[in-house]
Structure 1
Amino acid sequence: MEFSPIGLVHSAVRSRSDMPVQGVDAEIEIHPSYAGGLFGIEANSHLILVCWLHEAGRDVLRAVPRKVSGDLPEKGVFSLRSPARPNPLSVSVVRLRGIRDGRFLLLANVDVIDGTPVIDIKPYQTGWDCVFSATGHDRTEKIRKMGPGEYRAGLIREAVNYHGELCPGVAVAVRLAEAATRIFERDLASPEVSVAPGSDPCIADALIGITGARPGNRRLGSSGRDRCVLSCAGKEAVFLLREVPESVDAILAADEASLFDCTVRLRAQH
């Protein structure tokens, strides 16, 4: 079995320990002999990037997600996205920001270091590659180990992946989700969490992306025009929205009390 790299990653991150969980902006240089394969690629907003993790260990079958915390439970590498694995291939979805000189791809959310060989590139297709109803392990313990900035970055990515852009409504939803996580002390993607997002479509999209709530799993409801309600295991958090800044940065930096009032109340379980 032989691989011939089609290109190389150029990134400001040169050490695996410095790579943020959400990745960084980076550039992929496609070798001239493969540049013809990029014809038509600019029609895609997102790509599947396959790389060879040349510095990763190949003799590891169990590992801990150390980017989050070294004291999380050990798991088999096939249930983790750890770089250390028998065949260290990286498969990730990246956003195409542009193309330079016909063979340099400008990408976002690249989570491999400078100098990583690129093995293949494919278009990401929502209808085939997105399984929104997919479920995974409960991330509550992992979330508890995350720093607030890291958790916020994850919420933003989940919200933007569903909604399409980071707008003020999405920023408000991220702040709501941070508060709800603190109140319920659990992963908001849990089947026990239900959402009634109110009438703002951007907030609704973002909370659906973060929680996985939808009518089909009976976790998505409706609420009043200026309020949003999240519920979990006999507890209900009612958020009354205030007038918020139009700037995403201002919303993310604001005190919660300036964005919404929150009332937590118990409710009967059925």
Structure 2
Amino acid sequence: MGPVEEIKLEPIGIVHSSVRERKDMPLQGVEAEIEVFREYEEGLMGIEENSHLFVVCWLDKAERDTLQVTPRKYSVDLPKRGVFAIRTPVRPNPVSITTARLIQVRGRLLTVSHLDAINGTPVIDLKPYEPGWDCVFSAARRDRYQSIKKMMPAEYRDDLIRQAVNYHGEECQGLAMAVRMAAFATLTLKKDLRNSSVCILIGKNACISDSLIGITGARLGNKRLYYNLNPKLRESDSYSIYDSEKTIVFRIRKFMKDYKGIMECDIKDIFDIEVI
């Protein structure tokens, strides 16, 4: 069979977003609205039964003639990589696939979160996210520490929050405490916490433990997840993040009930931290 001479795509909708320029789009995207065109409205039947969707867009303003780029969202100092190895809008066929949470359905209008397509972007398809098929928790990636170093602290915090929420399911005080631990551990170990050499020892709080698992990708199967089973140690709730060279022990001093307060306070107000 010879090569296909032409592929024709018809947009099924359009993005309505507060972000109008690509340079202004946050790394984690924004809440936005998708307007599905009237002729495709029947295809939305049953979509409200899904919590998350794959939103497939055509990035009509993206460059198409470059095969190697620098991840500029982080820093122009990072080395170039091939466009098929990173999530850049610059590519021969500028198709974007974003996993977005479906917030509301109002007729032909879908409100979603974490959409990284700017205002006016054509939508070419919508697909339901299937947790049993599409979630590959064991997936590996390159160590992102050099990119993480270039992020603003708030950007990395948002990155950690999203990873934790994707596993735990909601933002809560325990998740906030896990994010504070993870940000501190990343700088101390000088590693992406999904690096295969990083392990975690979890404590009593289910929300903290869930969130640390989501952030690090630690599992019993990859021998990176351990439980604190020592009765004496469990008297005071503690968690550890470690590699072969350093162990960071976080002992909870104060469990604050204010999510924002946990995120903004001095980390020593909520943990006694020991680096071994």
TM range (shorter): over 0.9
Aligned twin of 1:71: 77
* Separation in 2, partners of 1:42, 1:243: 40
Fraction of identical pairs, as percent: 52
Where 2:14 maps in the other structure, the secondary structure is strand
Q: What is the CA deviation profile of residues 224-270 of structure 1, one whole-angstrom value per residue up to 9, with x for unaligned ones?
A: 430001111221111101222212111111110111010011xxxxx
Where 1:122 maps in the other structure, the secondary structure is strand
Aligned twin of 2:239: 228
Aligned twin of 1:160: 165
Where 1:99 maps in the other structure, the secondary structure is strand
Deviation at 1:136, TM superposition (A): 0.9
Deviation at 1:191, TM superposition (A): 0.6
Q: What TM-score results when the alignment is normalised by the length of structure 2?
A: 0.94
* Separation in 1, partners of 2:75, 2:30: 20
Matched, 1:189 2:191: no
Q: What is the CA deviation profile of residues 76-110 of structure 1, one whole-angstrom value per residue up to 9, with x for unaligned ones?
A: 0000111010000001100000012x110000000
User: Which amino acid in the other structure matches residue 26 of structure 1?
Assistant: A
Q: Which runs of 4+ in 1 moved over 3 A?
A: none
* Separation in 1, partners of 2:49, 2:209: 28
Where 1:215 maps in the other structure, the secondary structure is coil
Where 1:160 maps in the other structure, the secondary structure is helix
Aligned twin of 1:127: 132
Note if contact 1:240-1:261 (Cα within 8 Å) is conserved in structure 2: yes
Where 1:217 maps in the other structure, the secondary structure is coil
For 1:100-249, what aligned pairs fall within 5 Å after superposition? 100=106, 102-223=107-228, 224-225=233-234, 226-249=237-260
For 1:27-106, what aligned pairs fall within 5 Å after superposition? 27-100=33-106, 102-106=107-111
Note if contact 1:159-1:170 (Cα within 8 Å) is conserved in structure 2: yes
Q: What is the CA deviation profile of residues 147-185 of structure 1, one whole-angstrom value per residue up to 9, with x for unaligned ones?
A: 101000000000000000001000000001011112111
* Stretch moving more, 25-34 or 236-245: 236-245
Q: What TM-score results when the alignment is normalised by the length of structure 1?
A: 0.96
Deviation at 1:145, TM superposition (A): 0.8
User: Which amino acid in the other structure matches residue 200 of structure 1?
Assistant: N
Where 1:162 maps in the other structure, the secondary structure is helix
Which sections of structure 2, spanning at least 5 residues, go unmatched? 1-6
Which sections of structure 1, spanning at least 5 residues, go unmatched? 266-270
Q: What is the CA deviation profile of residues 190-228 of structure 1, one whole-angstrom value per residue up to 9, with x for unaligned ones?
A: 111000111111111100010000100000001243000
Matched, 1:9 2:15: yes
* Separation in 2, partners of 1:35, 1:261: 55
* Separation in 1, partners of 2:41, 2:76: 41
* Separation in 2, partners of 1:234, 1:108: 39
* Separation in 1, partners of 2:188, 2:86: 28
Note if contact 1:244-1:258 (Cα within 8 Å) is conserved in structure 2: no
Matched, 1:261 2:265: no
User: Which amino acid in the other structure matches residue 182 of structure 2?
Assistant: A
Deviation at 1:6, TM superposition (A): 0.4
Where 2:75 maps in the other structure, the secondary structure is coil
* Separation in 1, partners of 2:254, 2:267: 12
